[in-house]
Structure 1
Amino acid sequence: MKQKILLGLLVVAILTLSACGNNNNGLLSNPYKQSEFIIGTLVTLSIYDEDKEDVLELAFERIDELEHMFSEEIPESEVSNINRNAGIEPVPVSDELYSLIKDSIEHGELSDGTFDVTIGRLTSMWRIGHDDARRPEQAEIDEVLPLVDYRKIIVDDEDQTVFLSEEGMQLDLGGIAKGYIGDEVQKLMNENGVTSAIIDLGGDIYVLGSRPTGDDWTVGIQNPFLSRGELVARVRASDMAVITSGIYERYVEVDGEQYHHLLNPIDGYPIDNELAGVTIICESLVDGDALATTVFAKGIEEGLALVETLDDVEVIFVTRDRELVLSSGIEDNFELVNDNFDIID
């Protein structure tokens, strides 16, 4: 069995031109920049506003605070407490976690169950992304599937509690928490007067404001089949989230077959369709994070139909056959830069 983790292989890369000094608008050509491995990925924050370097430390403190609320890997977290009390009693939670749980339920409904944060029993068996990753036996999967159902999460607005109604249920917020944390970082930056920044949470990216030149940011879409730095396309964006999810990010290989980390909560196995990756462009990271999983699970036809019903949401599909499918509103801000890929209708 081989375990493979490709941090950021289809991570969306920010393409900027380096220069020295600062501009007349008070923005730096070379940003204040800090990177840390946190929330299970490499997080890089870049701030272009002069005299705002101290905001980087505040932002990483906020990320650490939220990780200790949301991570099921941390025994003292609020999520771990909810999991321990599954089928026993409701658990009072923070404003942040309560908001995130309600967002998760809404995305469960929007996705018809293909996005489901009660997938924890499945992810804890597969363990893809960890050294002890494995392919569970069918009997193990069959045993836990009845415990995967977001409709069994009971929330109480008056007491602000969360209750998993069946013993053995487990939350895993990995498909949405990173987006929520990114939105909180953006909020913190806005509150501290930052007007130009890049928030990069291992593939969940938010471009705040414009480049120091006043132009939109150019965001590169990584080729999923080649080494890091080789692009398929570019998109222009400002004050937007760009989130990419794909089968090549994390996987485990068993008996010559690769099993990627995007699990189908319906059958308990990795999603199997024509897609290699999906990039969502929208206004918030939390919605983009969940939608990337939802749209990937639905495939091109159903996923595209869903995106076309949503305001201010666009999608780029990359298929295993090196074909790209675009939603109707992205074409004017999209540029194909790799002749080995074709855009199809």
Structure 2
Amino acid sequence: MFVVFLCSLLCAFSNAQREEDITVKRTLKLMGTRFEITVIAPNEDIGYINIDEAVSEIKRIEKIISSWDDASETSLINKNAGVKPVRVCRELFQLIERSKKISEITDGAFDISYASMDNIWKFDGSMDRMPNDGELQRSISKIGYQKIILDSKEQTVFLKEKGMRIGFGAIGKGYAADRAKELLVSKQVKGGIINASGDLTTWGTKVTGEKWLIGIANPLSKDKVFSWLPVVESSVATSGNYEKYIVLNGKKYSHIIDPRTGYPTTGINSVSIFAKNAELCDALATAVFIMGRDSGIHLINQINGVEAVVVDDGNKIHKSTGILFDKNQ
């Protein structure tokens, strides 16, 4: 199991001027999940003002990308599937454009049109049989990033088939974390963390000049750290099956569904992706989980500035070439 911890590693230098700064933290529910926002500020009042600004930015993004909000541009795209193109704001258009590019490099393992899938898998304990092939084929019949038609000149999005839907569940939290970080950096906030339920991005250092770190838990004991890895001006996202899964006929199935087959993924307990942007980490964590250990790590090794740690269903840790474990930290 891969558990994200936040800790610190003492730097080789000290900075007396930073001693006046303090750490301000707030935890709240945004985008249907738990966000923890931490900032370094000269005092508590300014810290909470900064956090409020980040919260407002995240809420603004949610109003654009939420498929549950009938008034959002995303909902308007879904309502007009198979009917007509919908003109959207530049921000949403570019997010969909980037999402399609990730679909291309992952051979459809990541696909925002997964939202077209019927909810035939239940992870609430009520499911007692496997869906048949016919049910699965009907479930995935509307899925396909190639069916998302973008017109950059008109700035429109068109879903080719009626019943198609797009959703940003596998990239939206990361994107929101990036934008909130970008806003706070523009406000000269010295350092902090935006943690969107395990998808996190950092900048600067702690008050003492310490680096932000994440800890990899020992697969055989989640309370013990196997190794610490620095996240300096960078991001990490983790996809795991620790809580949401089902067991049918003695086999464990993750809640993460392969949009190409309609089947839940097997063989992996968790994937953590390290990259500059949380958006990319978020999307690739899901994609690698679906692609599987070998194919996923092979893909990551071909992308500059991106690394991965994969824990398989035997609790063995695998990593991309750029990850160096230091068990002594």
Q: Considering the TM-score relative to the shorter chain, is it more than 0.5? A: yes
Q: Could you tell me which residue of structure 2 aligns to residue 6 of structure 1? A: none
For 1:313 and 1:89, locate their aligned partners in 2 and report how far apart those are by CA, in whole Å.
37
Change in 2 beyond 3 A, CA 1:124/1:38: farther
Deviations 1:216-257 (A, max 9, x none): 222113456766x54343211210101111122433556776
Change in 2 beyond 3 A, CA 1:325/1:258: closer
Change in 2 beyond 3 A, CA 1:244/1:94: same
Letter aligned with residue 319 of structure 1: D
Q: Could you tell me which residue of structure 1 aligns to residue 293 of structure 2? A: 300
* Structure 2: tracts of 5 or more residues without a match: 10-14
Deviations 1:1-53 (A, max 9, x none): xxxxxxxx855221149xxxxx6333667511111112121100000132441
* Structure 1: tracts of 5 or more residues without a match: 1-8, 18-22, 338-345
Q: How does 1:219-238 map to 2 (within 5 A)?
A: 219-222=214-217, 229-238=223-232
Q: Which moved more, 1:284-293 or 1:245-254?
A: 245-254
Letter aligned with residue 109 of structure 1: E
Q: How does 1:106-255 map to 2 (within 5 A)?
A: 106-122=101-117, 124-126=119-121, 128=123, 137-138=131-132, 139-222=134-217, 229-252=223-246
For 1:216 and 1:186, locate their aligned partners in 2 and report how far apart those are by CA, in whole Å.
17
Change in 2 beyond 3 A, CA 1:175/1:223: farther
Q: Could you tell me which residue of structure 2 aligns to residue 57 of structure 1? A: 52
Over the aligned positions, Cα root-mean-square deviation in angstroms equals 2.8
Q: Could you tell me which residue of structure 2 aligns to residue 13 of structure 1? A: 5
Matched, 1:335 2:326: yes
Change in 2 beyond 3 A, CA 1:14/1:205: same
Q: Could you tell me which residue of structure 2 aligns to residue 342 of structure 1? A: none
What TM-score, normalized by structure 1, do the two folds share? 0.84
Change in 2 beyond 3 A, CA 1:169/1:134: farther
Letter aligned with residue 75 of structure 2: S
Q: Give the superposition deviation at 1:320.
A: 1.8
Deviations 1:255-302 (A, max 9, x none): 7764322110111011122x2111111100111111111222222222
Q: 8 Å contact 2:239–2:271 — kept in the other structure?
A: yes
Q: Could you tell me which residue of structure 2 aligns to residue 36 of structure 1? A: 28
Q: 8 Å contact 1:12–1:205 — kept in the other structure?
A: no
Q: Give the superposition deviation at 1:60.
A: 0.7
* Pick aligned residue for 2:258 from 260, 264, 284: 264
Q: 8 Å contact 1:32–1:47 — kept in the other structure?
A: yes
Change in 2 beyond 3 A, CA 1:329/1:81: same
Letter aligned with residue 213 of structure 1: T
For 1:154 and 1:211, locate their aligned partners in 2 and report how far apart those are by CA, in whole Å.
44
Q: 8 Å contact 1:115–1:293 — kept in the other structure?
A: yes
Q: 8 Å contact 1:221–1:234 — kept in the other structure?
A: yes
Matched, 1:282 2:278: no
Letter aligned with residue 335 of structure 1: D
Q: 8 Å contact 1:27–1:49 — kept in the other structure?
A: no
Change in 2 beyond 3 A, CA 1:194/1:27: farther
For 1:69 and 1:62, locate their aligned partners in 2 and report how far apart those are by CA, in whole Å.
11
What TM-score, normalized by structure 2, do the two folds share? 0.88
Letter aligned with residue 239 of structure 2: S
Q: 8 Å contact 1:116–1:150 — kept in the other structure?
A: yes
